[in-house]
Amino acid sequence: MSLLARGLPRAEFDVKAIALTRGGSLEEELRQHAVPSRIIGKRLPFDPFVIWELRRWLDANQPQVLHTWGYAANLYGRWAGRKRKHLKIIASDSSVGSVQSGLRLAGDKWVRKATSLFVANTDVVAEHYRQLGYQDVILRVIPPGIPLPTTNPSKREQILKQLDLPPQARVVASVGPLSRESRVDDLIWAFHLVKQLAGNAFLVIVGDGPERQRALDLANHMQCEKAVRIVPQFDHHNDLYGIMNVFWLASERTAIPTRLMSALAAGVPVVCSKTDSTESIVDNGTDGFLVKVGDTAGFAQYTDRLLSDTEMAKRMGQAGRQKIAARFSPENMVQSYSELYRQVVGE
């Protein structure tokens, strides 16, 4: 969202951003690019105050298009914006796990009629929402724009120190929510095997969620806790990619997480679970390795190969970076959304 807000041509689009909970580093990025932002401060799982604040914001700003991103924003934004005749609402999602059943599905159905268009970042996500009842006429697929990060080697020592890692550490990392779908247990089991093969290997997991304590307990049980770092959040992911030797993704979800593509863009070779979506991104043996979901031995085997053979790791990292540059350029993404906004406003 930040990349799009910053990239839209200002002569044509007057862009404003609003966040439900916190802004973090994205708020600072928007400020540096003169994009006004507003943080509501959502505190409750279901917070009526957010709807009230969104309605006030819509009344004050009178936008032609409201573009929401992710389940919570899609729910609150469409709820607050429904019945506004001149407002076009575009909802977006990048995950098949956001809406599946229960209250989330009921909430999505309740606000669905307020949707002018729904944008998915992959065909897999679009098909998921098609199965939920969204009509083809409102579904669109726009691939994400992934910038090629510029890593600063001089920051490596600083980041390692921040994470309490030694200078010679070889870092295996994973980024994302700590949920059952993320299969955090698999990461710990696989790292326990890696640690037997590479003594100076360390596992860094950036994320938070209900499986955090379970992961910490398992690391203690496997006696590898001194080499495991679980960090709830890390605002400057580009700096983090700069210290990674291997990126892991054990998730069984089929949607392509942006964090996987960001790792490839940073030139980091990956080892991840084999799903329909990861197969469409990772060329097995060329820019990373794919293993069966739950195959902790496979994760360890391929990670050890990448840590042991630096030339192969470098070659695979370069291949991934080149592929992301060719298929997921930010310029193409901004152009696609610009055309979409022109279309929806002109209807």
Q: Quick: pLDDT tens for 234-289.
A: 766 678 898 999 999 998 875 667 889 999 999 999 999 998 778 888 999 999 99
Topology of the domain covering 153-327: Rossmann fold (3.40.50)
The pLDDT value given to residue 100: 66
For residue range 7-58, what is the model confidence (pLDDT) as tens digits? 999 999 999 999 998 767 777 888 888 888 889 988 888 899 999 999 999 9
Give the separation between CA 87 and CA 58, rounded to whole angstroms.
9
Same fold, 2-145+329-346 and 153-327: yes
- The rounded mean pLDDT for the chain is 91
The pLDDT value given to residue 97: 67
Q: Which CATH class is domain 2-145+329-346?
A: alpha beta
The pLDDT value given to residue 255: 64
Q: Where are the domains of the chain?
A: 2-145+329-346, 153-327
pTM of the model: 0.78
Cα-Cα end-to-end distance for the chain: 24
215 membership: H or E segment, kind and range: helix 212-221
What's the rounded mean pLDDT across residues 317-332?
94
The pLDDT value given to residue 181: 84
The pLDDT value given to residue 235: 66
Q: CB–CB of 83/50 below 8 Å?
A: no
Q: Quote the percentage of the chain above a pLDDT of 90.
A: 67
What's the rounded mean pLDDT across residues 110-132?
91
What's the rounded mean pLDDT across residues 137-161?
87
